[in-house]
Amino acid sequence: GDSVTQMEGPVTLSEEAFLTINCTYTATGYPSLFWYVQYPGEGLQLLLKATKADDKGSNKGFEATYRKETTSFHLEKGSVQVSDSAVYFCALKSSAGNTPLVFGKGTRLSVIA
Amino acid sequence: DAGVIQSPRHEVTEMGQEVTLRCKPISGHDYLFWYRQTMMRGLELLIYFNNNVPIDDSGMPEDRFSAKMPNASFSTLKIQPSEPRDSAVYFCASSKGQIAQQFFGPGTRLTVL
């Protein structure tokens, strides 16, 4: 079945450092890909998405490019802030029929001043 | 606009007691999802509804768990009897269409002593 694998955390970075969180997927067809973010004590919220190959999703300085050749959707940010400390979830939605989102296990990011 | 509303936000109960978690989805959304989040198992989809009808409950851990959606604006997740291993944060999410963005509630933190 469909699955998402993301790098295990926690990831600890200093403020203004470059961030990469790796995400790879297994799916048939052409899934849509998402990054959700969960701030402490809150529910998940959509950060960005891409619905077809080579699309780049971006939001709040974060970017991810849908790479079908490597089945990847890595999340990047050029300069992280303390306020980016959260858990980040990669997810996919299959193009095949009535199936729900498949989430990765999440990666905890801590940014220190 | 109000987002997804969950109640209670925190619940502490003793083993063997019945627990009922409540969710009000965003008005106009036709999909509703229940998730459970723990450190050990991450985010798990328990069950989801489309137009108030349960579509897939394969994630419900056992018969002690049940969920209902009597109308488009209300859903419950019940655990009877509760056990300490049910301690987790339970999230409700809704979306308009299954491919669309899921909006998560703030979660209910359940502690079973």
Paired residues of A32 in beta bridges:
A93
pLDDT tens digits along B44-67? 999 999 999 999 999 998 899 999
Residue B56: helix, strand or coil by DSSP?
strand
Q: In this complex, do B102 and A44 lie within 8 Å of one another by their Cβ atoms?
A: yes
Chain A contact for B48, CB < 8 A? yes
Chain A contact for B56, CB < 8 A? yes
HSE (side-chain half, CA atoms, 13 Å) at B73: 3
Chain B contact for A100, CB < 8 A? yes
Listed residue (A17, A4, A9, A1) closest to A72, CA to CA: A4
pLDDT tens digits along A17-53? 999 999 999 998 889 999 999 999 899 999 999 999 9
Residue ranges in A1-113 assigned as alpha helix (H): none
| Neighboring chain B residues of A44 at a CB cutoff of 8 Å | 43, 91, 93, 102, 104
Q: In this complex, do B93 and A41 lie within 8 Å of one another by their Cβ atoms?
A: no
Better pLDDT: B81 or A94: B81
Q: In this complex, do B106 and A101 lie within 8 Å of one another by their Cβ atoms?
A: no
pLDDT of residue B100: 74
| Residues in chain B with pLDDT values less than 70 | 1
pLDDT of residue B1: 65
Residues 6+ apart with CB under 8 A from A1: none
Chain B contact for A89, CB < 8 A? yes
